[in-house]
Amino acid sequence: MPEQTAGLKATRVANAIHQLSGLLGNAASPDNVDLTDQGDLGPAITALFAQQDRSTLP
C-alpha cells in the first residue's frame, strides 16, 4: 500500500509541474499577458520559462 501512495504522490507532483510549466509558457508570451506595467515580473517569468526550456525540470 505505501508503494501505491508514493506512486500517486509522484503522479500528482508530475501533473503539478506540467500545469505550472504551461502557466509559465502562457505568462512568458507577451501575446497572452501584458505585464509591461509590472516592473521586472515579465522578464523574470520569461527567464524562468527559458531556464525550464533547457530541461532543468524533471
Q: How confident is the model at residue 57 (pLDDT cuts 50, 70, 90)?
A: very low
pLDDT tens-digit readout, 10-51: 899 989 988 988 888 888 888 888 888 999 998 998 888 888
Q: Are 36 and 42 in contact (CB under 8 A)?
A: yes
pLDDT of res. 54: 60
pLDDT of res. 39: 92
User: Above 90 in pLDDT, residue 58?
Assistant: no
Q: In terms of pLDDT, which residue wins out, 53 or 9?
A: 9
Q: Where are the alpha helices (DSSP H) in 1-58?
A: 2-28, 41-51
The torsion defined by the Cα of 15, 17, 22 and 23, in degrees rounded to 10, comes to: 110
* pTM beyond 0.75, yes or no: no
Q: What angle do CA 25, 29, 34 make, to 5 degrees?
A: 125
